[in-house]
Structure 1
Amino acid sequence: MPADSIIPDIPGELLTDPNIQHHLSSRVASLCGLSSNKFPGSQPVSFTTASLDLLEREDFWVCEKSDGVRVLVFIVMNNMTNQQEVWLIDRKERYFNVTGLYFTHWEHKNVPLKETLIDGELVLDIDPRTGHQTLRYYAFDCMVLNEENIMEKPLDKRYARLRNWVVTPLEASLKAHPEMRQHLPFEVVAKREELSYHLRFVMKEHIPSLQHGHDGLIFTCVQTPYIPGTDENILKWKPPSENTIDFKLELRFPPLLNADEPDYHAKPEFLLCAWQGRDDYEFFDFMYMSDEEWQKVKETGEQLDDRIVEVFWDSRVQIWRMLRMRNDKPHGNHRSIVDKILHSISDGVEIEEIYARADNFKAAWKARARQRAHPPSNVQRQVSQQYTTGGHQEYSRNYSGPAPGGGHGDGYAHGGPGGGIAVVSGLKR
């Protein structure tokens, strides 16, 4: 994480009424087709050498991994007031009500958008010239749109709906009513995505132009549905030396001399505990903290015991060190995820290794595109079975790439979700 990264606080009013929260979380679960009210967001897996082959076998998009706070935006109609409400849901399953945002229907400007669930990240952008800070929500996926669950649709269709039917109408409203901007709790933008083989552009040109911190790349499969929980088709890449794990930290103080009580003035041992599920944790390893670091922690007066901390492996001296506290997470990484991250650390992939395979990604992507354009007769019959949604003709789910058609300068489709390429690059494919 860059030294100048600032993780923003979640805006809005924290919901404290358990009955209202249960109602909202149950509604979210129902819309997502889930049997429990847990946080429905997807989680990536760590990048390994096997991921290189996966990027060659399937179509993926790539974007930078922002330093921010993961939240879902839940747009919902309050049946009691008949007013639209906007809620932010974090990974601790906390709900924050924000005002000043109003989303309209993409076809009817005077009609409010109904139940919609968006995935993204709150990021604090800082203008390097003026130092001005702007809170932005970088939306990268859409799970529910106007009461319709679209999680089974492929990413390119979900993203196109997000861009064209949520973000663009909001931008149009703000353009028509500029006075609304002064009441915005944050700006809403569609996060920039590129074809996987354009990762060099992302690293060399896009990331240096950002106004916020970042710590790697996210590769997301274009063809697969949105999957709550761990998704093997979302890959999180970091330099091997920067892979981190979230543990619960427990402090073990030595006993006082000739007493059974612990000596809270002494430097404790720092125990890293891996989450086993529910509220169960198991000791994993010790974390190192120098005397100077411990003194600084004591001076802050901040509690460390029973906190979720993000740690990294210092391979030079073979120890775990603390990177930061994770106040946004209710639990550390599950032990199964810990094992995968450990594998990623030992089987890490440097960026140059991914660059070296980029031409293979491109060749394989184009070969699949040619095959889709000229499918065998039995597949062709399936592709011809198109359907219509909301007045926009769409391609069959058998079509697994971005819809054909050119962009309009900014690289986004400006027609319906099936009517143009939804990936954001002006680069040649």
Structure 2
Amino acid sequence: MQDFYGLEAVRKFFGEKFTKTVAHEIDGLIFQPVNEPYCAGRCDKLLKWKPPSHNSIDFLLRIQRICKPGRCDKLLKWKPPSHNSIDFLLRIQRICKPGELPEYIGFLYVQHENEPKAQMKATKKLLPYNNKIIECTYTNGKWEFMRERTDKSLPNSSKTATAVWNSIIYPIDKEMLVAYVENICNRRSLNFLNI
């Protein structure tokens, strides 16, 4: 069972006094409308915030053996619907012929999509996760494996992946969040006092 707090409490969640009282790291906040009943599962009336370092996407990983030569047979671009200027650029090279040196690439898929949305180098550590759902973060211009999502049978939807991608490239850190919430609280107080 989670506790509920008013907006005024947001700053305290990041304070040392509060963080010492919880047994785990605070990895995000959920803002629930006051006059709405709690809704389990997906709810568009909730606002979920995570620190930029915790933003991740759950992909289906498919590892393919690819030729190393620099020739690129196909170029794919993914333009998330809300930001046409942002692309995931994929260079899909041809499958190896006998005698050519292979490279393993992990292609990353979202739910109900036939084309990969991103890719990552497939290391030995990654090979056991072929055709499994994995959680990835985007760091220093590349996707990085975090863990297998054994609790999920499907990757994120394209809509969810796009929303997370936008939060990765346009991060809102805790200082920005606290300042924004406190501004709302101050305006609400002024309205209440009719000032």
Q: What TM-score do the two structures reach when normalised by structure 2? A: 0.70
Q: How has the CA–CA distance of structure 1 residues 329 and 367 changed in structure 2, closer, same or farther, with 3 Å as cutoff?
A: farther
Alpha-carbon offset, residue 347 of structure 1: 2.1
Q: 1-side partners of 2:130 and 2:177: how far apart?
A: 39
Q: 1-side partners of 2:166 and 2:96: how far apart?
A: 40
Determine which structure has greater relative contact order: mean sequence separation of CA pairs < 8 Å that are 6+ residues apart, divided by chain length. 2
Alpha-carbon contact 1:288-1:319 (below 8 Å) kept: no
Offset from partner CA, 1:238-283 (integer Å, 9 cap, x none) = 2224311111111112467538xxx9xx65210000112xxx5531
Secondary structure at the aligned position of 2:107 is classed as strand
2:134 is aligned with 1:295: no
Give 1:326's aligned amino acid: R
Alpha-carbon contact 2:58-2:135 (below 8 Å) kept: yes
Alpha-carbon contact 2:65-2:96 (below 8 Å) kept: no
Offset from partner CA, 1:141-197 (integer Å, 9 cap, x none) = xxxxxxxxxxxxxxxxxxxxxxxxxxxxxxxxxxxxxxxxxxxxxxxxxx2332122
Q: 1:333 aligns with which of 151, 156, 161?
A: 156
Alpha-carbon offset, residue 358 of structure 1: 3.5
Q: 1-side partners of 2:27 and 2:19: how far apart?
A: 10
Aligned 1:91-170 pairs, distance under 5 A: 139=1
Q: 2-side partners of 1:209 and 1:350: how far apart?
A: 22
Give 2:177's aligned amino acid: I
Give 5+ residue unaligned stretches, structure 2. Answer: 67-94
Alpha-carbon contact 2:60-2:132 (below 8 Å) kept: yes
Alpha-carbon contact 1:312-1:321 (below 8 Å) kept: yes
Aligned 1:247-266 pairs, distance under 5 A: 247-254=59-66, 258=98
Secondary structure at the aligned position of 2:10 is classed as helix
Secondary structure at the aligned position of 1:221 is classed as coil
Give 2:148's aligned amino acid: M
Q: 2:116 aligns with which of 275, 280, 283?
A: 283
Q: 1:355 aligns with which of 171, 178, 184?
A: 178
Query: Which structure's CA Rg is the greater one?
Result: 1
**Which residue of structure 1 aligns with residue 58 of structure 2?**
246
**Which residue of structure 2 aligns with residue 92 of structure 1?**
none
Q: 2-side partners of 1:283 and 1:240: how far apart?
A: 24
**Which residue of structure 2 aligns with residue 210 of structure 1?**
22
**Which residue of structure 1 aligns with residue 135 of structure 2?**
310
Secondary structure at the aligned position of 1:311 is classed as strand
Alpha-carbon contact 2:32-2:38 (below 8 Å) kept: no
Give 1:237's aligned amino acid: W
Percent identity over the alignment is 24
Q: 1-side partners of 2:96 and 2:183: how far apart?
A: 63
Q: What TM-score do the two structures reach when normalised by structure 1? A: 0.34
**Which residue of structure 2 aligns with residue 198 of structure 1?**
9
Secondary structure at the aligned position of 2:14 is classed as helix
**Which residue of structure 2 aligns with residue 222 of structure 1?**
34
Offset from partner CA, 1:76-126 (integer Å, 9 cap, x none) = xxxxxxxxxxxxxxxxxxxxxxxxxxxxxxxxxxxxxxxxxxxxxxxxxxx
Alpha-carbon offset, residue 306 of structure 1: 1.3
Q: 2-side partners of 1:336 and 1:353: how far apart?
A: 24
